[in-house]
Chain A
Amino acid sequence: MVKSFGFLLKALLGLGMAAICWGAFLYARPAQNFVGESSRIVFFHVPQAWVSTLAFFVAAWYSWRYLRTRRIEDDEAASAAARLGFLFCVLATVTGSIFARVMWNSYWNWDPRETSIVLLLLVYGAYLGLRGALEDPERRATLSAAYALVAVVTVPFLMFAVPRMYQSLHPDTVINARGKIEMSADIRIIFFSSMVAFMALSYWMWNLDRRVSRIVRERAA
């Protein structure tokens, strides 16, 4: 059964997110090795990229479940995760590009991480495009599940093999600086709160999408 978020939790999320917005700009200090205030984008960009990647694996998981159980709820969960992942992937790509402009003075550098997020975007686009082209619900569920699973086995290549190939050609300009190497306490607390908040937010949105799918299906029956 699809349970909905408690009202208290949602209120907590709302206040928490507002607090994170405040903290991101007015409490946390700008990090070293970043241009001006640009490190603040990390509080938003990294959780979005993380959620987007997580959503992809969730979609793959439910795709696998669907192929085993043939329950349409599993397909609804997978496609909800894909839609969510796509949204956050777009956000992550855009925020990343803005950051790149400020940090390295160009909107796009084909740095390994940037390439990976664009490839993820393409995978999401392909998955959603496939779903859009198939009308029969079972066929749509089966074929998109199969595609999601093939795509998920190529992901290690996107995420790990390609960047490692590039490291032999280019220096890794990006995100080692934002890693956990030197996060001061104020940054750390906002960062991890933001990760938690974005995950909670996306979980809520995922649930809503699933419930809507179920209602649409029940109404149509």
Chain B
Amino acid sequence: MFFPISNSHINPVYLVVVGFVIGILGGFFGVGGSFIAGPALRLMGVDWNYAVGTDLAHIVGKSIVAARKHRSLGNVDLKLGLIMAVGTIGGAEGGAQLIQALKRAGNVNSVVSWVAIVVYVGISVFMLWESHKTLKLHKGRSRQTVKAGGSKADHSAFGPVTKRIQGTKIWPMISLPTSGIQISLWIILAIAVVGGFFGGFLGGGAGYIRMPSMVYVLGVPTHLAVGTDLFEIIISASYGTFTHAIKGNVDILIALVMHTGAVIGAQIGVVATQYFAGPKIRLAFVPLPLIGAAIVIYTLVTGHKL
């Protein structure tokens, strides 16, 4: 099938399958899946600028489906998502500005690659340690809670640190009844700005940073973090799609085709979260940033741009 906007020939079945796989990951983990979608489009000969912009457009559609489904299961904290969207957009602009500065300095590729490797591996190692320790501490309990229909009850080995962060009383304090926490607005905004910054700097929706941050720093239960992250991604990815479309980086026809597969994948991913307790979802999340790190290492070592 010919896509005139990006001037590329791609088999639509390939796009639907890629969308389906990313849809499952998005529905289950609350991530945009840009670390797979970008290289997958690039592999078909789509230019990088179109791969990045088109991926963002596809993320908007997929997140709408997954967030709607999560909302029907009570997994979305709208108030938290809206506050975070403001910080994410601000942070994304900061990340994009830093990219521009590095471009001018002439070392953007190596700096972004090394930062990406450190961030991705750091997240994976930390989540592996935390979820493994939590599962060990609460052995047997998670299975009981899932069986009792209480899979949303969450435990974390990082809990004491989270409690201390929640105890930091900096005005104004925001009450989030859906997530069952009360926390300073500035802490929420800081998390959102950091997530947005890495989204603007490393590309994509940065769900691989925001979802763990919501769990470990804010103390949001994992299921709610996944649903709220998806809701937040709708807003921030829409903004990203709009700015990229104005710059001529979005082939909406490719995004529409990819999205037909993502609709089914996202539904499967969301339903699957109901069968796993929080620490198991976090443990299953561990390989995702590692895939991103492996792709970056591959491009560094071989010099190929996937």
Q: Do they bind each other?
A: no
- A-side residues, CB < 8 A to B, are none
- B-side residues, CB < 8 A to A, are none
